[in-house]
């Protein structure tokens, strides 16, 4: 069994498998989303930039208050948003903090750019190392809370990153798809003249399969370049899914709050559970991942899958050879069963 | 008014505008498509390659009989299929026949490749010129029936292209999104060891806004590379839309036949109408575009839009400075009204 990439596990379920793999909420999307019924409009091309009403509603969200809907682009998930922004940058280096989301290095390279890395300490950016590495970069990609570490960056660090990138005129891409899943404090939204905020309906509203994400930037030239490129590479994002995303934004605040409580419980449950199994790991501060150290990670991932029907992701895919990633986006009973199987594996 | 790209007109409608712009059918999708209601499965990530049942059904279609579902990838429209294939090729030249679909040169360039061109004679490929130009290319992109010319390539020519590219080991991308809209003969599906057939549900089944396309190739390495890239750039194609596409394939043959008859009537109507207005144009053999010569195309496109609320596309976007493109994917009454306004403009 070759552990080539997470693609091998995405969409694999059923048949007694417990998947700590893919980071998708098992919780239902807001009820409001179900009210959408396909209408003829959904079958027509829409604006490449995205539906007017959805962008309008986004610009009214608390974090975006006072922004203009023309500064948003709706995309096929956060993945496409990041891919499009990177592709508009042409040549140069992009700074990533390590461990990173597994798609970052491949998309950076696929865009003709070169990934460079700043190491983190317990998942936290070392601003001195960051400062050294950032100077000849074209862009920086920040992901707080982080997939796979579940760690958040300190507000102080984020402000220093804002200042540095602003002074240097560097594009700062902030992947904030887990912004509503922080257990320790409010999200701090990075801002600045060349900041691109990337977000998604997948995690907050449990709508992964519908693939609706978006980007926002004050830098109108980035926005326009993205629209121009998207005209040729995928055209509008699925109209029906955009209508559903619009409805999701109308869900009461209690929807997000309720989910938040569930995530927190699960976080505590899996964190304590893995500690009890004797594994070394960081306490997640956001998102829904734990990233424990294990002996022989490759063998662990293969054996857990083949012998115990448990899917985990190899740390190496995220730039860390000593760990494996577990998503806890599944219900407590499944987490419990999964932990039991992991315990059996570790004993054997 | 700057005529930068078709993006400016995509999704623009209402307010008395007659749009000969965007190539989207006004006809309804098959009834079967409407039977799909969002189910919880639609909110989960699916296989990057695409839903199993949809790929299975595609492999049973007449033209694909005997193929394997593992050789298909479902994409965000044909646009993404072409973009992904090109991006897996790395460096080199890609041969396009001119006039071309406006997105081809930008996606070729965005993939880090270099577009080179073979001129056509009345929209038909000159195989001698093709032969000369193809030899140092990495890939060829054929679009028959053609957007914007509405012309089809002779079967003899297509067979020579198959032979040449096979002998030279060149990737042959065949964009056949208009394969069900040929007025002169059956479609001839290009085949060979490195052929990538690109198709879409947008035109045949009038589902543009849902963005479901696909590619098929015998060359498993191309298929695998595309899946790997899509894992990072957009993940699965919208699950709900794939379910709808699956239903569309279950529509009776009469759906396509009925549409075909309507397109043929419209083809004759607009072709005769433009001839009567004194314009020089080729008779379309497929797709739903006419590509007449006009004096001062830029002024024509601007004046038609600003003074007569008629959207047309600039020939220059398709590599032809003497023409404008009109889509006749709208009902006869609208075509009639549009022709009337064009007549008024030409008189003034």
Per-residue pLDDT of chain A (348 residues; tens, 9 = 90+): 888 888 788 777 788 999 999 888 888 888 888 777 777 677 888 999 999 999 999 999 999 998 999 999 999 999 999 999 999 998 999 999 999 999 999 999 999 999 999 999 999 999 999 999 999 999 999 999 999 999 999 999 999 999 999 999 999 999 999 999 999 988 999 999 999 999 999 999 999 999 999 999 999 999 999 999 999 999 999 999 999 999 999 999 999 999 999 999 999 999 999 999 999 999 999 999 999 999 999 999 999 999 999 999 999 999 999 999 999 999 999 999 999 999 999 998
DSSP assignment of A74-104 = EESHHHHHHHHHHHTT-SSEEEEEES--TTH
Mean pLDDT by 10 residues, chain B (348 residues): 82 86 86 77 88 97 94 98 96 97 96 97 97 98 97 97 98 97 93 97 92 97 97 95 95 91 96 98 97 97 96 97 96 96 95
Distance (Å) of CA A336 to CA A27, A43, A183, A269, B85 = 17, 44, 21, 9, 42
pLDDT for B274 equals 98
B24 Cα to chain A: minimum distance (Å) = 7
Residue numbers in A near B109 (CB within 8 A): none
Nearest-by-CA chain B residue for A211: B238
Residue A213, pLDDT score:
98
- Residues of A in Cβ contact (< 8 Å) with B228: 5, 7, 106
pTM value is 0.94
Distance CA A285, CA A31 (A): 28
CB contact under 8 A, B209 and A238: yes
Which domains does chain A possess? 7-23+253-347 (3.90.1150.10), 41-249 (3.40.640.10)
- Picking from B38, B114, B228 by the largest number of A CB atoms within 10 A of its own CB, the best residue to mutate is B38
Q: Which residue in B41, B88, B211, B329 has the most chain A C-beta atoms within 10 A of its own C-beta, making it the best mutation to test that interface?
A: B211
Q: What is the pLDDT of residue A15?
A: 85
Closest residue, chain A, to B23 (C-alpha)? A45
Q: How many CB atoms lie within 10 A of CB A289?
A: 25
Count, residues in chain B:
348
Look up tokens 């009204």; give the residue.
B337
Residue of B nearest to A210 (CA): B238
Per the CB < 8 A criterion, the answer to whether A117 and A96 are in contact is yes
Q: How far apart are CA A214 and CA A212, in angstroms?
A: 7
Hey, how many other C-beta atoms are within 10 angstroms of the C-beta on A220? 11
**Contacts (Cβ under 8 Å, ≥6 apart) of B36:** A38, B240, B243, B244, B247
SS3 content of chain A, % helix, strand, coil (to 5): 45, 15, 40
Question: B213: nearest CA in chain A?
Answer: A234
Question: Residues for chain A: how many in total?
Answer: 348
The predicted pLDDT at position A304 comes to 97
Is the CB of B44 less than 8 angstroms away from the CB of A209? Answer: yes
Can you list the alpha helix ranges (DSSP code H) found in chain B?
Answer: 52-59, 77-87, 104-110, 127-134, 155-168, 220-233, 239-249, 253-276, 297-308, 332-347
Main-chain dihedrals φ then ψ at residue A117, nearest 5 degrees = -130, 140
Site from B2, B7, B228 to mutate, A interface, most A CB atoms within 10 angstroms: B7
């Amino acid at each position: 069994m070759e552990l080539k990439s997470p693609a091998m596990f995405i969409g694999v379920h059923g048949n007694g498998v417990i998947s700590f793999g893919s980071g998708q909420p098992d919780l239902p999307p807001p009820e409001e989303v179900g009210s959408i019924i396909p209408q003829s409009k959904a079958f027509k091309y829409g604006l490449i930039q995205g539906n007017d009403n959805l962008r309008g509603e986004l610009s009214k969200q608390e974090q975006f208050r006072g922004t203009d809907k023309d500064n948003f682009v709706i995309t096929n998930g956060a993945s496409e948003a990041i891919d499009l922004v990177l592709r508009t940058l042409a040549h140069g280096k992009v700074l990533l903090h390590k461990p990173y989301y597994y798609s970052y290095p491949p998309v950076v390279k696929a865009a003709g750019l070169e990934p460079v890395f700043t190491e983190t300490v317990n998942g936290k950016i070392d601003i001195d190392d960051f400062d050294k590495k950032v100077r000849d970069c074209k862009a920086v990609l920040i992901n707080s809370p982080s997939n796979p570490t579940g760690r958040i960056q300190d507000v102080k660090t984020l402000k220093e990153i804002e200042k540095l990138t602003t002074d240097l005129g560097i594009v700062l891409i902030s992947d904030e798809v887990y912004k509503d899943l922080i257990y320790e404090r409010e999200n701090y939204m990075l801002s600045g003249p060349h900041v691109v905020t990337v977000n998604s309906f997948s995690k907050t509203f449990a709508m992964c399969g519908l693939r609706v994400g978006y980007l926002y930037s004050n830098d109108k030239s980035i926005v326009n370049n993205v629209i121009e490129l998207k005209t040729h590479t995928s055209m509008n994002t699925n109209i029906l899914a955009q209508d559903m995303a619009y409805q999701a934004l109308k869900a009461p605040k209690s929807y997000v709050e309720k989910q938040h409580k569930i995530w927190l419980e699960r976080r505590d449950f899996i964190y304590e559970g893995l500690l009890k199994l004797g594994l070394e790991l960081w306490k997640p501060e956001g998102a829904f991942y734990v990233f424990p150290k294990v002996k022989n990670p490759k063998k662990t991932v293969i054996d857990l899958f083949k012998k115990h029907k448990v899917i985990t992701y190899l740390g190496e895919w995220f730039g860390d050879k000593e760990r494996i990633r577990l998503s806890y986006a599944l219900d407590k009973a499944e987490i419990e069963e999964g932990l039991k199987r992991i315990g059996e594996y570790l004993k054997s």
